[in-house]
Chains A and B, each alone.
Chain A
């Protein structure tokens, strides 16, 4: 006779199991239709198996994580540049990318964004190619080189900009907009040429060659339209949905655009995620980027090791690197720091300050030749006096 759902639930509710094991246990036993006795046996075996697979107390989890990530790391290609799928965007992969992640670089060498588009109805951005294209041009930074030829007229001390109408139409920008933007960015006289179509003439504030040449140089750096730093936007269709991929990253700005799905848009710049979405999102992003990098190379590392690393990197509320300026550099022990990098200066500084090493960690105890506080080395016997003894001694005034 099989037991009901409520009985299963009441039998399992006090077990200390993670939620997904609990869920599987409940579902499977309900589907199979087990008796009460069978259920008891199943629970007993599941608990035993669960305890078996848990990490043991005093186990060196960090060292195992380091080795488990380090060993596959040796098999990675030293220098890989790859194109992310069909979208022709160059991204750093392989070992350089992994180093970038654990070093918590402020800006990755190839920043990139994945912009998901809203898909609330059939006509929304994600299903509409024209809307998506238009949005892509709104986001991509347009510079003067993209839409015009710039010539320096030395005889008349002017900069002449010949705009290409076709390029302007493509990027949906008008000559007035260009003029206004240039006026805003530079402190000079900007005029639309009255005789020739699509021509803008710029006169420097004072007629000197130096001024003119400087102007000719600085005009190329102005972003006329779009977000600064987004060099390219690629539209790709994945299944039914259009998605944008960008070279360059500006998450905060992109989230302001209409048509962008703000819940699924993301970047490979972990520091930017930390600033915009907070520390927990940064942690998730470290895990995602690291596993993706390893998987792309055909290496499988258990996610628990990567989770441990990302927890350690984010436990103080900010993204810290693993290394001299982060976790290893913040160790309390002088010996542990000296064993890692720049030994002499650490010892010298500690000597001058009169630092005390408490010998609590692993590294320092190995250095001085004592048992380390891991595994059996972390188990201590503490004698517990019988209560009556204490009472007697108290009376004696000891």
Chain B
């Protein structure tokens, strides 16, 4: 029997993920789409205009149609939506999907409507995102210190990435079959990982190719890492900035205790006026830093719900981690069985666009060190101005290169026989031929 070919096509969505994985031998072909979305501020500039996610969806659908037998609808065997962030799922809001035949949809167990723990976690995340989003907008509208801060804008971005409305809601509704109009057929939905460990090893239609689902962890200790910030404080904060809502009594003390504006210079000693000015007291009430910190915790809590899986083709492994951050890797790296699934890595989808704590040092130093074969690491990345200095993390790229990984990215295509890119700039791909064991 001949060898198996594997192609990973990374669509140039901008700051977001979309990968079409094609596994084929001389008789059968199996296709899996991992994510399809772009960050609201991460659309790529192509020939002077920004590319909408709809264009990428059209490209994917036409690629699938081209691959389908004459007269058959476009088809994909599996769609994986790793987690419900806009930069991973917003594309599924597009109606073009309704003509596509989908075998199965795989999502995180956190999406399971029949799992009470999942429902409560998801509800908390959604409510937290809504509260933080409202707080960021209330701050912007208030004109108070911090309202024009870049931190406020970033916090709003994080919240909007997670907030469950608009494209995110439409996308998840389609994926989970909520309104029955999602795809050309009604695909089976798997919530992963399954409670039954046997069901986390999923065969494909190509012999020798199987998927092992390793995460997210269902361990209660790990679930804590998915807890979002509490919503109450941010609701109260937004209320306080909202002039139509009453909070603490205004004024705080009876009128005679408040210095009339015209008398300030005479009543307040000069030393105190100077101290107030020097300490920039007016910035104290803004809480913009806390808001950003909370938004970042929210961002991470949703990232850590990512489906984390390995595609094994004849003993060579391809690793997809969604946007799992530090904490979400721990149970994989700490469990010898899960860890063994990372041996013989051939391909790594770099987590979370190459950010600082999405690819643990332990993974680079321990797992990649024991590897003897070349590794292709694919970086889904597009420019978002605010993060250009931090994402991807230069040290990570250097460390990966130090383990002689070939870094595949759309904006800097390397000269490598395995790597090709679309002349129209719509995708970059890497292909392997894996001999039978």
Real complex partners, A and B?
no
